Amino acid sequence: MAPRAEQKVTHVCLGNALLPVGKLRFTQEPRRQYSEFQNFESWINDALAFAIAPRLTRPPIRP
């Protein structure tokens, strides 16, 4: 049986108010490891939303 990937997920929040902005998932497989970030819908729809990191694009504004 092949070894399974191990995943760890954490929520990303901003500021003293702990405003939830997204979820960061770390995956470790036998031969590689990687991470991925997903914005929360509430953050995407927030008029004050901005790109969390320079290489991550700003969430699209939805009407």
Each residue of 14-35: pLDDT tens digit? 999 999 999 999 999 989 999 9
- The pLDDT assigned to 46 comes to 87
Residue type, 41: E
- Supply angle C-alpha 11, 34, 3, rounded to 5: 105
Here the tokens at position 15 are 């500021």
- DSSP helix/strand/coil, 42: helix
Q: How is the chain split into domains, by residue range?
A: 1-58
Whole-angstrom distance, CA of residue 30 vs CA of residue 36? 18
pTM of whole model > 0.75?
Answer: no
Residue type, 28: Q
